[in-house]
Chain A
Amino acid sequence: MNVLLDHLPEFRDGFVGTLLLTLASAAFALVLGVLLAAFRVSPVPPLRWFGTVWVTLFRNTPLTLLFLVMWFVVPQIFDVGMSPWVKGLMALGLYTSSFVCEAVRSGINTVPFGQAEAARSLGMTFGQTLRMIVLPQATRTVIPPLSSIMIALTKNSAIAGAFSVTELFGVQKLLSDQGFAIAWIFLWVALAYLVITFAISGLFRLLESRLEVAR
């Protein structure tokens, strides 16, 4: 109990750090994932292949390996001096984008054929069909899997703590190095993660009921 009260600033910084890192990489992953999903259903073969290769590669890469690549290989290519936070964001975002892409793609597959056929018979192009007809309807079915992906992202962000980004795992490491009882630290850190994941699943459930329509 006292661990939390005595080290409130550390816990607060860690909590905010996890929250910010999760939000930023979620935004990055969402944009990239939707773009990749569009690639995967596009009429241009190389873009489809690119999407497929991307998803296969990143879904089968351990996140720790991606972090190592970000820390040791990427700086050799883009020597712009990225901060650990930005590198962590990139690793988490790239990894999660492949899961977002698959969720969006299977969402696209649940939209009834007639919708896209009607759009095409109105003379809409691929871009218009996707943007104005299919994706808005796919959103509803994509929400539950996206919620799972975002919760996984929150949990995955713990790895960034091992790579010197300020977040909750870093707090656990710091305080247990200082010799505080691990059981209490574990409890508080776990609770902090629970707060975030509950907020995410609550938010997505709200979105789901808002967007619900009778079909």
Chain B
Amino acid sequence: MSASVLYDAPGPKARMRNRIYTVLGSLLVGGLIAFAVWKLADRDQFDPERWDIFNYANVRQSIVDGLVTTLKVFAVAAVVSIVLGMILAVGRLSDHRWVRTISSGFIEIFRAVPLLITIYALWVVFLSWKSELGLEGDMPAYLALVVGLGVYNGSVQAEVIRAGINAVPRGQKEAAYALGLRKTQVMTSVLIPQAVRSMLPTIISQLVVTLKDTSLGYIITYGELLYAARQLANNITVQDENPYVQVIIVTGTIYVAMCMLLSALATWIEKRGRRSKKGIKIAHAGEPAEGGVAGAGSGAALTPPMVDGDPPADN
């Protein structure tokens, strides 16, 4: 139902009323923003001297380092999660019962446990086996973050890809078998390509969740963007105060901008796919993926654990 179905075309009276709400609403929102800005200015948070820190090369360098670390973790975790997702999805559709059981168990466990709990447990394990595994410096935290993000998002991606495979018209599979392709060939050259194509917006939305969840590195003191920002602010004093507000505003904007770009890409691919006449139905961009932790992600991540069928909405 489009919004306009909900109300009549406004007459003179309704137009007047809408105008009053417009003014009131704008005043309220504008007032809140103005209050926040005024309060911050009142505390000298907009003092040029406090923002001058971003002119120093070493400050910029730490932010860039944090950004590069975040992107590095994201890149590795994205690849791990998609590859793992494909393996698990195929495993869950396998003809062998034990493969199905293992894949389903893996998916359900890691999807149901909060990502932070997994990452922290992995971190403790890697830390205590540090010398046996030959890990140095912040490698335990890095591995915990990448492996945690990989298994969690891989489990979610598996459900997305599985839903995509199931949505490929049956004729495709039958035609492939009729041509004499083997089971593996049918999967890799007919089903998965079409599934990935139709699920691409959803897969990318889940990647946004992955990107957002790299910020969990902050909690296990791994030097990604937010932790770098925190350390930076801890080490600088301007006018007897740590510039938390300034550093959080700058790094936060970078983070949100990256996520928005990736979300925009998902929406763009969805719209592009709708126009295509190839007959592959394209999924909605924002659909699964909410809440994943940080996830919820797109947000909050989220389908009830152990429910078969629908693609997950995880965060």
Contact = CB atoms under 8 A, between A and B. Distances in A.
Interface of A: 40-48, 50, 56-57, 59-65, 68-69, 72-73, 76-78, 95-96, 98-99, 102, 108-113, 116-117, 120, 125-126, 129-130, 134, 144-145, 147-149, 151-159, 161-162, 168-169, 172-173, 176, 182-183, 185-186, 189-190, 193-194, 197-198, 200-201, 204
Contacts of B118: 186
Nearest to A65: B252
Q: Which 7 A-B pairs have the closest CB atoms?
A: A152-B291, A152-B300, A152-B302, A201-B304, A152-B296, A62-B215, A60-B259
A183 B121 CA distance: 8
A171 B85 CA distance: 31
B25 interface: yes
Contact of B120 (A44, A144, A172): A172
B22 A156 contact: no
A152 B35 CA distance: 33
A116 B3 CA distance: 10
B255 interface: yes
Interface of B: 1-3, 5-8, 10, 14, 18, 21-22, 25-26, 29, 35-36, 39-40, 43, 45, 109, 112-118, 120-121, 124-125, 128, 208, 211-216, 218-219, 226, 230, 244-245, 248-249, 252, 255-256, 259-260, 263, 286, 290-305, 307, 310, 312-315
Nearest to B292: A152
Contact of B40 (A77, A112, A183): A77
A150 to B, nearest CB: 8
B29 A59 contact: no
A83 to B, nearest CB: 19
B295 A152 contact: yes
8 contacts: A95-B299, A152-B295, A155-B115, A156-B296, A158-B115, A169-B116, A172-B120, A194-B305
Grouping DSSP codes into helix (H, G, I), strand (E, B) and loop, the B interface class, with mixed when no group exceeds half, is: helix
B30 to A, nearest CB: 10
B252 A69 contact: yes
Given A42-B3, A172-B117, 19 more contacts: A44-B22, A47-B21, A60-B259, A61-B256, A62-B211, A62-B226, A64-B226, A73-B248, A77-B35, A78-B39, A99-B291, A102-B290, A113-B5, A130-B6, A148-B304, A152-B292, A153-B300, A157-B114, A158-B115
Contacts of A43: 3, 6-7, 10, 14, 18
Contacts of A108: 1
Nearest to B233: A72
Which has the most chain B C-beta neighbours within 10 Å: A48, A193, A204? A193
Nearest to A98: B299
Given A61-B256, A64-B294, A116 B244 contact: no
A41 B303 CA distance: 26
B304 A200 contact: yes
A168 B294 CA distance: 16
Nearest to A157: B114
A105 to B, nearest CB: 9
Contacts of B215: 62-65
Contact of B114 (A69, A98, A169): A169
Given A64-B218, A197-B112, A59 B299 contact: yes
B43 A56 contact: no
B36 A158 contact: no
A41 B8 CA distance: 13
A177 to B, nearest CB: 9
